[in-house]
Structure 1
Amino acid sequence: MSISFYIMADKPENERERERAIATSNLIASPHVGRFRPILDAVRDTLKAKSAAITIVYQDSTYVLSAAGFEAGIYKRSTSFCAHAILSPDELTIVPDAGADERFAGNPFVDTIEGIQFYIGAPLRDEDGTVLGALCVFDEKPRDFVTDDDRARIIALKKEAEAIVHAISKQADVDGGKAVQSSMQSQRP
Structure 2
Amino acid sequence: MTLHFFSAAFRPQDEGSRQGAVDSLRPILPDDSVLHELLGETCRVVRTPIAMVTVTDGDVQRMICAVGIEPVVLPRSIAFCSHTVAAPDGLLSVPDLLADPRFRANPLVTGGPAVRYYTGAVVRSGPFPIGALCGLDRRPHGPASFRQRAELRRLADAVAERIGAQPRRC
TM-score of the superposed pair, with normalisation by structure 1: 0.80
Aligned to 2:57: 58
Aligned to 2:82: 83
1:26-51 residue CA offsets vs partner (Å, 9 max, x unmatched): 3xx44243131111001101222121
1:164-189 residue CA offsets vs partner (Å, 9 max, x unmatched): 13xx357xxxxxxxxxxxxxxxxxxx
Change (3 A) 1:7 1:25: same
Of structures 1 and 2, the larger Rg is shown by 1
State the shift of 1:139 in Å.
Answer: 0.6
- Contact 1:3 1:106 (8 Å CA) reproduced: no
Quote the RMSD (CA, aligned, Å): 1.8
Structure 1 unaligned regions, length at least 5? 171-189
Distance 2:40 2:57 in 1: 25
1:101-148 residue CA offsets vs partner (Å, 9 max, x unmatched): 11111111101375111101100111x221100001111111123222
Distance 1:88 1:12 in 2: 9
Correspondence 1:142 to 2:140: yes
State the shift of 1:89 in Å.
Answer: 4.7
Distance 2:165 2:151 in 1: 24
Aligned to 1:95: 94
Structure 2 unaligned regions, length at least 5? none
- Contact 1:7 1:104 (8 Å CA) reproduced: yes
Question: Which structure shows the bigger proportion of residues in helix conformation?
Answer: 1
State the shift of 1:11 in Å.
Answer: 1.2
Change (3 A) 1:49 1:6: same
Aligned to 1:157: 155
Aligned to 1:12: 12
Among all aligned residue pairs of Structure 1 and Structure 2, give the percentage whose two residues are the same amino acid. 27
Distance 1:148 1:120 in 2: 12
Aligned to 2:39: 40
Aligned to 2:115: 116
Question: Which structure shows the bigger proportion of residues in strand conformation?
Answer: 2
Change (3 A) 1:114 1:14: same
Aligned to 1:181: none
Distance 1:21 1:113 in 2: 31
Distance 2:95 2:134 in 1: 13
Distance 2:22 2:90 in 1: 21
Distance 1:83 1:56 in 2: 9
- The amino acid of 1:147's aligned partner reads S
Aligned to 2:70: 71
Distance 2:143 2:55 in 1: 26
Distance 1:32 1:138 in 2: 18
